[in-house]
Amino acid sequence: MKNIQHKVLNILLSLRITLVPKQSQKTHKDCFATRLSRKRAPPLRSSALAMTERGFSILEIVMYMGILSVLLFIFTDIFVSMLDVRSESLANSSVVQDARFMLSRFSYDIKRAQTISQPANLGDSSNSLQLSIDGDAYTYSLTNGTLNLQNINGVNAVNSVDTTVSNLVFKKLGNTGGKPSVRITFTLTSVIQRKSGYETRNYQTTVGTR
């Protein structure tokens, strides 16, 4: 009996020795897995911080877009104003320059004319003016808003393409036996349209022969 008890005791001791390392090894694995899962789980604080940073970035983009829109509106308004000023200047200068040249040309030709053939009689009015200068005929006439001068050099426009002429009237004035004169009236309008409309001016002058 003692031998049998001794053998049973030895078997139980051997089983205890083999079971203890397995339990210990399993416990270490469980601890490692637990630690690994804790490391992989993102903290709530970091997630909230990322959302906050993302929100600030969107807000900054919205602010930049708003500032850019305001600047674009300002620059567009300035550009349109500059175009209006330029159109105003071009319309005004084209009318003034063409009127100055037309009046100067009328004065130059009428003063050196020997006769005025059209209008034919004193007090008559006409849409065309015909002069005789050194035996050559000079004829002013209006065609589709353009004042043309026809002479030995051909037909040439007196006003520029930036203006149109209208209401052109030549009236022959003077006394019988004296040197006649011509009263000229016309309207000059710019082709370029300003913000307030076209530049339109009326002119009148009287030039006598020598």
pLDDT tens for 37-59 read 555 545 545 544 444 455 557 88
Q: Which domain holds residue 103?
A: 73-208
Asked if the model's pLDDT at residue 24 lies above 50, the reply is no
Asked if the model's pLDDT at residue 5 lies above 80, the reply is no
Q: Is residue 67 part of a domain?
A: no
Asked if the model's pLDDT at residue 135 lies above 50, the reply is yes
Q: Cα–Cα–Cα angle for 70, 74, 76, nearest 5°?
A: 115
Asked if the model's pLDDT at residue 195 lies above 60, the reply is yes
3-state SS record for 51-98: HHHHHHHHHHHHHHHHHHHHHHHHHHHHHHHHHHHHHHHHHHHHHHHH
User: What's the Cα-to-Cα distance from 210 to each of 54, 123, 132, 135, 166, rounded to whole Å?
Assistant: 90, 19, 13, 16, 28
Please list, in sequence order, all residues whose beta carbon lies within 8 angstroms of the beta carbon of residue 168, skipping any fewer than 6 positions away.
127, 142, 147, 184, 185, 186
User: What's the Cα-to-Cα distance from 129 to each of 67, 119, 137, 186, rounded to whole Å?
Assistant: 64, 6, 10, 13
Q: Is residue 81 part of a domain?
A: yes
Pick the more confident residue, 209 or 194.
Answer: 209
Q: Is residue 4 part of a domain?
A: no
Q: Is residue 33 part of a domain?
A: no
Of the CA atoms within 13 Å of residue 163, those in its CB half-sphere come to: 29
pLDDT tens digits, 139-173: 999 999 999 999 999 999 999 999 999 999 999 99
Question: What's this model's pTM, rounded to 2 decimal places?
Answer: 0.61
Q: Is residue 200 part of a domain?
A: yes
Report cis status (omega within 30 of 0) of the bond before 180.
no
Please report which confidence band the pLDDT of residue 15 belongs to, taking 50, 70 and 90 as the band edges.
low
Q: What is the largest CA-CA distance in the chain?
A: 179
Checking DSSP bridges between strand 115-118 and strand 125-126, what pairing results, if any?
unpaired
Q: Is residue 113 part of a domain?
A: yes
pLDDT tens digits, 60-77: 888 888 888 888 888 887
Checking DSSP bridges between strand 163-173 and strand 181-194, what pairing results, if any?
antiparallel
Q: Is residue 2 part of a domain?
A: no
Give the total number of structural domains in the chain: 1
Q: What is the C-alpha separation between 162 and 147, in angstroms, rounded?
A: 13
Asked if the model's pLDDT at residue 36 lies above 60, the reply is no
**First-to-last CA distance in the chain?**
170
Q: Is residue 95 part of a domain?
A: yes
Checking DSSP bridges between strand 163-173 and strand 125-126, what pairing results, if any?
antiparallel
